[in-house]
Amino acid sequence: MDLCKTPALAALQEKIATRQATVGIFGLGYVGLPLALRFSEVGIKVLGFDIDQVKVNAINTGKSYIERIATSTIAHAQAQGFNATSEFGRVSEVDALIICVPTPLNKHREPDLSFIINTVEAALPHMREGQLLSLESTTWPGTTEEILAPRLLSRGLIPGQNCALVFSPEREDPGNPHYGTKDIPKIIGGMTPTCLSLGIGLYEYAIQTMVPVSSPKAAEMTKLLENIHRSVNIGLVNEMKIVADKMGINIHEVIEAAATKPFGFVPYKPGPGLGGHCIPIDPYYLTWKAREYDVNTRFIELAGEINHYMPHWVVNKIADALNNKGKSINGSKILLLGLAYKKNIDDTRESPAVVIIDLLQTKGAKVDYSDPHIPLFPRTRKYYFDLESVILTAENIKNFDCIVLTTDHDKFDYDLIQKNSQLIIDTRGRLIPSESIIAA
């Protein structure tokens, strides 16, 4: 790093180069907390910010609230100086501010940047020259330059002169045993070459591979492309599943066969819908922004429609299967296996299982769930059900008219489930279809 000419940025450069910089992480969830722990692991002092006092208290008492993060890891980070606060007045203590807050959609499926804006507005009165601001929350191309930069300028903070501004999208994959925070290459785009240089200098302590791009817009678009690629391909395979089902073909057998081709095919698995904090949401950020340029992203929106329909498809399959046994959804006892949006994690964000519960309850079903990773149904911005995870015993399983496998956790005893179920709807292709096991 040799681009910093002003005293403020020269001082920041020196702090980064000598590992004396303090990092502030805003949003201590599934993205922010692992990043904070990674910086602590390499000896960088971290101050975490979150408006959820429960999370702040947990960290400061050495407890973890995310299943895959051990309490011992929190304790080790504390020994390295990691602590948390809900007081934005402490922003002046940090040298780098990294924003990892949610970017949901509103009820019209339009971008909701309120979490980003509120975080920046709360931090601004306490910001000073010589700080680096990095946005990691996925958003539409132009957010860094059009939303963040003007707010900095309003306080006399000029990116590349007396502060630094970058966009570096998160790439977390909860539950992936092969790729942790440090292993996943980090995209980064800076407002100026100086901003980029400072951002790389900071992140390269925690991340093994840095991937610089020409601008924040390019970095923002890169993240959207990654998730739109997955959304479109999952939409395709979900549509293929519907067609295959009508033809009496097992789509999972077809995918496995196609995947033997050593080139030109990437296997995607169908399911009950899309979940997680990225794929169900991020494509709509681009479709919304594209309208500003008079572009209709029909291909992206079609994939979204298909994926959004999948929970309804599952409920229709449940209705048909119950009907074949002389029962209706109304009054039936139905147990969903798995509340998380994917296997072996405790994350329910945008989980299709939650939508299926809502749809079934609307139709009069008596719904419960069992998930070894989620003992109590968590409150979300859109849904809440007063439910707790059912313990799977032979007697409990027999009491349900229908079992719906929505998330194929490895902890489930599938032999026990199959032996004692009256009817199973398998949305994940985990079980072999039979008279009482229906693929959906």
Q: What is residue 159's three-state secondary structure?
A: strand
Question: What CATH number should be reported for the domain whose range is 309-439?
Answer: 3.40.50.720
List the catalytic residues: 278
SS3 content of the chain, % helix, strand, coil (to 5): 40, 15, 45
Yes or no: say if 439 and 399 are a contact pair by the CB < 8 Å rule. no
Domains 7-214 and 309-439 share a fold: yes
Query: Where exactly are the structural domains of the chain?
Result: 7-214, 309-439
Amino acid sitting at position 376:
L
Beta bridge partners of 148: none
What is the block-wise mean pLDDT of the chain (440 residues), using blocks of 10 residues?
78 96 97 96 96 95 92 92 96 98 90 96 97 97 97 97 97 84 96 97 97 98 96 96 96 96 95 88 92 93 94 97 96 97 94 97 97 92 90 97 98 97 96 93
* Reported pTM: 0.93
86: tokens are 């809900």
- Residue that the structure tokens 């009491």 belong to: 399
Cα distances (Å, whole numbers) of residue 383 to 72, 318, 436: 32, 21, 31
Question: What CATH number should be reported for the domain whose range is 7-214?
Answer: 3.40.50.720
> Minimal CA–CA distance to 338: which of 298, 368, 296?
368
| pLDDT value for 174 | 79
List CB contacts of 185: < 8 A, sequence separation 6 or more. 171, 207, 208, 209, 210, 211
d(CA 91, CA 101) in angstroms, rounded, equals 16
